[in-house]
Each structure stands twice: as structure tokens, then as C-alpha cells.
Chains A and B, each alone.
Chain A
Amino acid sequence: MSKIPQELKYTKSHEWIRVEGETVTVGITDYAQSQLTDIVFIDLPKKGTKKKAGEVLLTIESVKSAEDVFSPLDGEVTEVNSALEDKPELVNKDPYANWMVKLQKKGGFGETMTPEEYKKFIGE
């Protein structure tokens, strides 16, 4: 059973989102990390990168495949979790504590889901 914290929002591409005022923190869900297998590298964006909702924000490399993480909104990257550069496997250990990117809100969100909707979406 995947962990799905109540206080977060979710996307169909398995990102979680925490909204605090104009700052939006993005990571991947427990379900996503378990599907990815061992994460070995995270190709993080640079600070100041601007993304539209639905654009590729970063790419996660696992032993088996490479998966994109999409921007949940129109925003600008203000912070990246550089601890993941050396220890990407932290995301496998705790995908919610180990966020990837913080964005400053510049426009609207794409489609998001509540925890209940996401739970149904992944069939659990």
C-alpha cells in the first residue's frame, strides 16, 4: 500500500505538490518511487528556469528507466534539493521528505487531485 499524505495535492503523472502561499514544492509519490525501482540519478533543473504547467521539469534515472517529472503549474524554479545530487536514493527511502524542486507561482495550475482521488487513480 502506497503512502499518500493527506495535506498534499497530486497529479496524474505521480507528482505531489505542497502549496504554501506563492511557493510550490514538488516531489514524486511513494507509488511512483516504487514503480521506478532504484533511483540512481536525478537530472535537476537550474534555479531561475521557467516552466509552463505540463512541461518537463526534471528527469529521474532509475536502474530500469528514465522518467520525467512535469511542472504542475506555470512557475519559476527558486530552489532545488541539491542533497539529491549525491544521494538520489533518498527519494526511494522517503519520497515526501525528499522534495525535488520549489517553484514560485507565476500562473495557473494544471489538473490536480485530492489524496482520495489519487488513491483511486492508482487503484489502491
Chain B
Amino acid sequence: MDLDANSFKQACREGGRQIETWLRVVDREHGARFYREAAAALRSWQAAEDVVQEAMVKVWQRCATFRGPGEPLAWIHQIVRNTLLDTLRQRQAQAPREQPLHDDDGQLTRDAEAAVLSLSASGVATPEGALAEHQLEAVFRRCFEQFAAAHPEHATVLRWVVEDGLDNAAIEALLARSPGATREFISQCRKKARPFFAPWYALVSPSRSAP
């Protein structure tokens, strides 16, 4: 079965067996990618299955709004990511509030900046030669996990920016925000990421080769 725009639109109009076939084929041929991406962000396969399947249902509830001639799979992937971001936002809204790291202008608070400098100083003091690659990796992963735990939406979008080269228009579509709000989100990504990666930045120095 071709997963092309014509077949998608026809299934959308006719429903029934055609939608069921699409659901089966997309899950079989592309599900692994969607489930893996969601599981990486949610840290749970069960939650990932829930999100991806919720997205698959949304796809067919909204199928009439699909505009070709682009690939329906790209559109489906975007809905999976939208749903994933919604879930991350909901989780964060339910999580206990943490001490803010930034003031209203988006700059580090005095306490946060002091903590960053302190962590950086302790990192720099570590003998550089003793740091094996896997130690750097471990520090980076810990930094990223903490960033993702505190700002799951920003961390996830930043990961997609790096891995898929998303531009502003793609981020805008993912977040369903205006261009201005998207630019603000981008600034927030950088500001929110900085303090979490400070310990790792402190360990990598210009004299080392880039990872």
C-alpha cells in the first residue's frame, strides 16, 4: 500500500477499512520510530504507546485538514510530536514548582548564576587529563537529563532542532505559536539550557578536541 497523499485523502473521505489499513501499515512500518522518539522523551514505553496512539486517532479526526501535496507521513509525524509536547506540558504543569532559574527578563537569577559559577569552578579544577571520554559523556547526559526534567518541552524541541535541523517555521508549526512567540521560545531554550549544561561546559576546554 502506498502511503501517499491521494491514498490518505481517499481513506479520510471513505473511512472504514481504508483507515484501518492505514493505521495498521503506519504502525507496522513507522511505528517503531514514533514509539522510540516518544519513549526517549517520556522515559517510558507505556507512556509512549499512549501518546503515539492518541496522535494516530487525532490524525484521523483531523484528516480533513491535511493539505497536500506534502507527504502525509510528515504531517502524521508532526501530530505525533504535537501530542508529545502537549503531554510533556501537562506533566510539567502537574509537577511541583521548582525555584526559578531566571528573572522576568530571562536572565539568570543571582543565586542561579552563583551556582553556575561555583559548579564551573569545581569542574575546571578537575585535572583535565583524568577525564575520560565516557566521563564527559556521563556528565553531559546527567546535565541533559536534569534540563529535560526541568524543561521537558524546551529540551525535546532543542533535541529535534539538533537532530532534524528544524527551522523557525517548523518550530512554529510544532508549537502552534506565532512567529514572535516562537522567537521568544527559542531565546528561552538557550537561557534555560545554559545553567544545566554549565558543569559540562566547564569540563570541556578549548585545548580538548571537540566531542
Q: A and B bound?
A: no
Q: Which residues of A contact B (CB under 8 A)?
A: none
Chain B residues near A (Cβ < 8 Å): none
